[in-house]
Structure 1
């Protein structure tokens, strides 16, 4: 268990995603499994959620921190627009690994999100580290967002040059797992299906912490 938390499968948790100290999205997820090694959570496409209300056509990661409201953007009700995903969040690690599922719940690859993660009761607060890795079903891989990661390095709300080096090292350690075909890239969970009794989680209460 993580910090003695309730590990009942199906328990609804809140995945809160922060970029540069500001909340980007708050999405309810269901706990699949929790052990001393970490936890697995399931995010369903179309789940009711909260997202930041941003200027039309903008993404939070592309708005300089100095140009954002000091107390954060307001949030609006929405639904998770991406696909279904199973998240593996290893205890004490600065990354998560996602199994991505497309139409018909067909497995379409892994996604490595480099991040800082803090558990606060039922809240999973994620500080995004921008740099990510796409891993195809055949375990070939490539870095993602290297240019924007470099642009953010050195800004006080993001990471220092030394921290950037540690973030990249974290990604490289996960790449070695993919190249070796070891967990979480060993084929397990690729056929995961949530229990039919799991309904889509309701929209959680309005997030009370737009800043982290």
Structure 2
């Protein structure tokens, strides 16, 4: 049983186990190939209240407050994005659009991640290393230094997991170089239905630490793809 078009889900984004953002998204399509989502620009969000000027990657988990950073209401800071989460894959591809007016296609973003769907919740554990792909297909790595520095830390990933994450990125880079799907120019003119608007702010999350951190004992990226992602029938809590 697949999710119906227009259904509102919660995209729960975490890093090292700290929940950073909860954003309402709508289902564009859902099938055997995976889940397509629309994240509207300026959507209401719950976001972690970090120290001013700091990024979570630059704060050692040992310095986080007990229970994690508190979550406060905010707004998604970017334009709209069409997001494809392929079934059984350790990545998601974002078609990024400039903020209104015009909403011109602004390139692709490949987020290397682990995720699990629990009913209407999509729990995404970020793997730090990402790719940006320009409309002409040229690509580059993002956050390589931070990814390397965190490899082996118990809150993040082992050297074995890091190798798998990079291999996943290299596979997507080859697709970009060959202008193969998802970088073949399809869906670059996507527009959501006019009546979708921005979904309302979801209820306040019950927890700040997501529980989706991936310490070494929780298995490899390949194991997660085989066992941990549920893009078919919704899973219970």
Q: What is the aligned residue count? A: 208
Deviations 1:153-204 (A, max 9, x none): 1100100011100000010111111112121111111000000111210000
For the Cα contact (< 8 Å) 2:40–2:197, is it kept in 1? no
Q: Corresponding residue for 1:133? A: 131
SS state at 2:174 partner: helix
Instruction: Give the one of 90, 96, 113 matched to 2:92.
Output: 96
In proportion to residue count, which structure has more strand?
1
Deviations 1:63-105 (A, max 9, x none): 1111002311111000101221111100110000000101411
Instruction: Tell me by how many angstroms 1:14 deviates.
Output: 0.5
- Alpha-carbon distance in 1 for matches of 2:34, 2:66: 34
Q: Corresponding residue for 1:168? A: 166
Query: Pairwise CA RMSD of aligned residues?
Result: 1.0
- Alpha-carbon distance in 1 for matches of 2:66, 2:202: 24
Instruction: Give the one of 10, 28, 31 matched to 2:24.
Output: 28
TM-score relative to the length of structure 2 = 0.86
Instruction: Give the one of 45, 49, 52 matched to 1:56.
Output: 52
Instruction: Give the one of 181, 188, 195 matched to 1:183.
Output: 181
Q: Which runs of 5+ in 2 are unaligned?
A: 212-237
SS state at 2:156 partner: coil
Q: Corresponding residue for 1:84? A: 80
Runs of 4+ in 1 over 4 A off after TM superposition: none
- Alpha-carbon distance in 1 for matches of 2:106, 2:112: 20
SS state at 2:108 partner: strand
Q: Corresponding residue for 1:142? A: 140
Instruction: Give the one of 59, 65, 69 matched to 2:61.
Output: 65
Which has the bigger relative contact order, CA under 8 A and spacing at least 6? 2
Q: Which runs of 5+ in 1 are unaligned?
A: none
- Alpha-carbon distance in 1 for matches of 2:206, 2:56: 18
For the Cα contact (< 8 Å) 2:24–2:199, is it kept in 1? yes
TM-score relative to the length of structure 1 = 0.95
